[in-house]
Amino acid sequence: MDISNGTFNYSELTPENLINIIFNYMGRIAYTRDLDELLVLMADMGRQLVVADRCTLWLVDQEAGELWTKVAHGIGRHTVPMDSGFVGYAIKHNQYLLIEDAYEDSRFNHTIDNQTGYRTKAVLCIPIENSEGEIIGAFQAINKVTPEGKFSLKDVAYMTLVASYSGKALESAQLVYEIEQTQKEIIYVMGDIAERRSKETGNHVKRVAEYSKLLALKIGLGENEADLINMASPMHDIGKVGIPDSILKKPGKLTTEEYEIMKTHAEAGYNLLKSSRRRIIKAAAVISHQHHERWDGKGYPQGLKGEQIHIYGRITAIADVFDALISSRCYKLPWDLDKVVQLFQNEKGKQFDPLLVDVLLQNIDDILLIKKAYTDISEDYLS
């Protein structure tokens, strides 16, 4: 059933249509734990069930005192004050709203219409509760796509059913999201400990993570795998925790013997992480082990060559070296961008995967935006 062209006839929503929509979406929702994906599915299900032009699922952010939506038909992420508009009212009073003409109601928040040029008329809002009866968000359907153009009590019943099921699914997804964010924070801290011992720049691990995700997406890896690399790459140098300070913090060039000791951090990091059964830590083990391998086989610790090197290791290697060159270190000033670009061109097919070098240079503007977003306080040469 397609209502996107605005010509759908409400009489076509037969009991069979209704059941098909519910079972189709609820089956998909049951196996979805990604919060963003879940919001997409729920918004799409709500729009089809009540035959609306748009449907938005708003979530409560108690800490920020805001309502936010990541997914809305026609708009991107948007935040509003907790008590704003119809949604804020429905959540505050825990009651549904059935509005025939939004512009005739003083509670209407015109912000999104003003920004997008859209014309809101009919509105339906339904609060969403979690398992403890707390309001965690609300559905907002806009503009009924029927000749009469207004929502009914039947729509309230349909959307209430969706809200009841959605509350449980959202609660589960939010818990998973919080766990993942906690894992990410711990990984950043662990990676940062290793970097700070060697006096690396404080945001190095965050920049490497973001560069790595960008490169992964640009070479065609899926969003989930790119997120995995983003989560795991901050631990690429975790093995440095076992390197003596006299070597790790040495401001000058290392001796041959010192360099051999420094090189052991790749194997040491792998040994620290390899026994985990968690996918993030397993990926981090691979990255720690292989991010100093070279495309030409002259790297360490295994002397892997070409595609023998895991794609996670190849991606992180480029991200790590790029940031090392363009950032200040205890033993050097940052390189000029032209010099960095020249090095990667020279090392294409030697130290680095040639495809990844091309992708890096083709997306250098986006890379530099990441660099600027995570620039350390002491660095202002790219400002």
**Residue 240 is a catalytic residue:** yes
**Euclidean distance between CA atoms 354 and 350, whole angstroms:** 8
**Euclidean distance between CA atoms 79 and 71, whole angstroms:** 11
Candidate list 240, 253, 298, 339, residue with the active-site label? 240
Q: Where are the alpha helices (DSSP H) in the chain?
A: 15-30, 35-50, 85-93, 111-116, 153-197, 204-218, 223-232, 245-248, 256-273, 279-290, 311-326, 337-347, 354-362, 364-373
**Euclidean distance between CA atoms 148 and 304, whole angstroms:** 68
Closest-CA residue to 183 (of 226, 239, 234): 234
Give the rounded distance of the alpha carbon of 25 from its chain centre: 23
Query: Which residues have C-beta within 8 Å of that of residue 238, sequence separation ≥ 6?
Result: 190, 191, 194, 269, 272, 273, 284, 288
**Euclidean distance between CA atoms 68 and 302, whole angstroms:** 48
Catalytic positions, please?
A: 240
